[in-house]
Amino acid sequence: PRTIPLRGVTISCASGSSHKPFRSGFLVRVRACVCVCVCDLIKMGVSPSHMSTMGSPVGFLSCEEAEAEAGATIATPAVPTTAIVDYMELPRPVKYEELQKEAMMSLKPECFEGFRFDFMKHLNQKFSLSHSVYMGSVDVPSQSGQTVKVPVGTYEFGANLITQGDKGEQRWLIGRMLSDGRMSGRCRYDVSDALSFKLQAQLAQEAMYSQIMADVDLQGTDWNAQVKLGNNEFYGVNYLQSVTPTLAMGGEAFWLGSQRKSGVGFAARHSESAGHVATCQVATTGLLSLTYVHKASEKAALASDFMWNWNAREATATFGYDYMLRQCRLRGRVDTNGVVACFLEEKLNVGVTFLLSAELDHSSKNYKFGFGMSIGE
């Protein structure tokens, strides 16, 4: 038997039926939208004499006529229905500090100058060691206002311990030690899905570069909050709440006691399932930031950023791209200050990545080129 879909109703055409005197393949049309097989009516005890009294319109349709009517019915456009939003079941937004993470991936590539080599060795599923060698130069401002390049070479040793709880809680400890005497470390401990603690510290020979910061992250079903405590009498708090399924709004505040400074900021983030993300941040410190990320396809994304400092009366606009190929990833940006940057990651083999970096600052005639290799994942 053949089936013809008609507005959710299935029409069964009993071709090859032996019932007489009706010809095989004929249908009875009852009302306007329901079609049943004549054979089925006979099985239900409806006599042929009563078929003409089943209500108007009643008639016989051949297979071709039934298919034509079914196609015309299906072609009728359906009336769009508006989805009902349940404001008690809104999604959880991203963390406030990750508000612009999609834009930063394209607009802030890890450009470097010189040579870089990274190697990571996994000893087991939880513990790994890393080695990094960098040979290049750093920019040091001079009294004349020009930038002076100072050659530098460093070696960095790192250790990573990463575990995961039964319910997906993350617990990790990461440490780094550089050849110039600097040390840094980060740790995170998730008590539950709603509460986690983070601690990061950096120790250097110069006291002004040593710092420590502790974070307490709180998460709800449709909100995120964070409390920050740091040295130099730093206190901060931020909060982000989902207002609709695609819109989240929040704010932040901080106090820096050593400099007697404080600030308040507000933010909004609009994200769609297609990957389009728009953000807006404004703060009493005089900064206005607007970003937009448009996911053109599964492999390509475009990003833009506008930064305005109304205290200094300065504005900067940046355009960036992020393109994923089969074996490489290409990211770049260009801004209104004349700075053009590009960063390429080419996978040569499993766990082997070749790096190319370039940054051209035409206004200050500062050009940076670098290449490197990363082994391990």
Distances (CA, A) of 202 to 150, 185, 215: 23, 7, 15
pLDDT above 70 (res 82): no
Range with the poorest average pLDDT among 82-86, 167-171, 198-202, 352-356: 82-86
What per-residue confidence (pLDDT) applies to 114? Answer: 95
Single out the residue of 98, 71, 33, 362 nearest to residue 252, CA to CA.
98
Q: What is the percent of the chain with per-residue pLDDT over 90, rounded to a whole number? A: 61
| Pairwise CA distance, residues 340 & 353, whole Å | 23
Neighbours of 132 (CB within 10 A): 18
| Pairwise CA distance, residues 54 & 62, whole Å | 19
Q: At 86, is the pLDDT very low, low, confident or very high (cuts 50, 70, 90)?
A: confident
> Which one is predicted more confidently, 360 or 138?
360
Neighbours of 207 (CB within 10 A): 8
Q: At 340, is the pLDDT very low, low, confident or very high (cuts 50, 70, 90)?
A: very high
**Average of per-residue pLDDT across 189-201:** 94
Q: At 22, is the pLDDT very low, low, confident or very high (cuts 50, 70, 90)?
A: very low
Q: Quick one: the chain helix, strand, coil %, rounded to 5?
A: 10, 55, 35
- Beta-bridge mates of residue 29: 35, 59
